Amino acid sequence: MSQGDDYKAIEWQDDLENDQVATVHLLAICPGYQGRSLGIRILEEAEEIAGRNGKKALRLDALKTNIPARRMYEKAGFSYKGEQRLYAENTGMTDFLFYERSIFTDVQTGPTGSGRDTELMKEYIDKRVHKLYWDEDLNCARTTLICLSELFKVPLEEQVLSSAIGLHGAGKYGAQCGLVEGSLMFIGILYQSMEKTENDIVEACYDFAKQFEEEFGSLRCCRLRPTGFSKNDPPHMCEQLTGKAVLFSYEYINGSL
């Protein structure tokens, strides 16, 4: 469906024309089928259809009071973008929340076999990292988790993202880098969803850490970010490193599957 006029007042992640956006205005699951993640599967299918039709984003709205729907959208990877008080025939004047998820269409998920594929993936990741850093002001661990979840189409619980709030060098202490922490967390989430054993997950984390250290020279924030953290640092000074690390993590995970 197309966007309504009420969507124009929202500050969306990307400035897109109407024909570049798909919109879900109503999503309902029969009570007898609720609790089976069908809503998320429907949204994933909607994204696939929208992507095949050249859309760049999937947008939707929800009643502010509809907490289960809001949690589902956030779990499915949608980002909150704004709120408006609008009139609806069945509710009268009501507060609505608006959500958006970018559609990954420029490159295909899967091993980056050709140089062109790798370059397209790098461009996509760099753009996504930039937006998560500067528009959402997220740290490296949460940015890594979100990027990988979108690339592999694995929804994240809000609690998972919350657990990574202080993982940028252990709250700026300079300990293990958030790029490593976020990737290790995602490996556990992805492998568990694939019914891998705990031993498989442990071995994959060990091997990832070893290869990351060989590629970047260290696992520690104080080494990867030699200046440490100070009030005089420019914001998000690890942006370039983050893009490289997310691409490395993506290629490592793809190669391990």
- CA–CA separation, 183 and 118 (whole Å): 19
Q: Output the pLDDT for position 112.
A: 47
pLDDT range class, residue 163, cuts 50, 70, 90: very high
Top pLDDT among 248 and 120 is at 248
Q: Output the pLDDT for position 21.
A: 92
Q: Where along the chain do the CATH 3.40.630.30 domains lie?
A: 5-102
Q: Which CATH number fits domain 5-102: 2.60.200.20, 3.40.630.30, 3.30.160.100, 3.40.50.720?
A: 3.40.630.30
Where would I find the beta strands (DSSP E) of 67-212? 79-88, 92-102
Q: Output the pLDDT for position 200.
A: 95
Top pLDDT among 246 and 130 is at 246
Order across the sheet with 57-63: list the strands.
Answer: 21-24, 57-63, 92-102, 79-88
Q: Output the pLDDT for position 214.
A: 97
Q: Please state the rounded mean pLDDT for residues 8-25.
A: 85
CB-based burial label for 130 (10 Å; 0-12, 13-18, 19+): middle
Element (H, E) at 21: strand 21-24
Residue 110 has pLDDT above 50, yes or no: no
What's the pTM value of the predicted model, to 2 decimals? Answer: 0.65
Pick from 198, 127, 183, 116: which is nearest to 152 by CA? 183
Residue 65 has pLDDT above 50, yes or no: yes
pLDDT range class, residue 116, cuts 50, 70, 90: low
